[in-house]
Amino acid sequence: MVNKAEEEKKLRKKKDKEWSIEVKTKFNNKCAFCEAIRYIQAHHIIPREIKEFRYEILNGIALCPKNHKWGFESAHRNPLLFFMKMEELYPEQLKRLKMKYKKYLENEKQNNIK
């Protein structure tokens, strides 16, 4: 018999995969920064640990390994430069995501006051 934790993990993996496919499709399976087409990965702009944004398509961008994790200018190694690139190349997406995140933070603040 499968326990509840295993079922939740399985469902989370399935939803992660679906989210990743949708994000990569949104960017035509190309790196959003350099248009590479090999080994494309979906990156969470707001960390996926913040559950409210984990499966939000607006919170994703398709990146090649160099721009995702491994290059000096990658999202994980140089977050400030990553956000500067986002502002330059995808200002509307970043603006909409910031508005949603601001509302989220306001709600969290209100919930913590109670």
Alpha carbon distance 97, 31 (integer Å): 19
Q: What is the pLDDT of residue 72?
A: 87
In a domain, 73, yes or no: yes
Q: What is the pLDDT of residue 65?
A: 96
Question: Is it the case that residue 90 has pLDDT exceeding 80?
Answer: yes
Provide the domain count of the chain: 1
Alpha carbon distance 43, 83 (integer Å): 13
Alpha carbon distance 2, 7 (integer Å): 7
> How many Cβ atoms from other residues are within 10 Å of residue 74's Cβ?
20
Q: What are phi and psi of 27, to 5 degrees?
A: -100, 25
Domain extent for 28:
13-113
The first and second tokens of residue 75, run together, are 């999202």
Please report, rounded to a whole number, the percentage of residues in the chain having pLDDT higher than 90: 86
In a domain, 74, yes or no: yes
For 4-59, how does the pLDDT look when each residue is reduced to its tens digit (9 = 90+)? 889 999 999 999 999 999 999 999 999 999 999 999 999 999 999 999 999 999 99
Q: What is the pLDDT of residue 25?
A: 98
In a domain, 4, yes or no: no
Q: 114 pLDDT band (50/70/90 cuts)? A: low
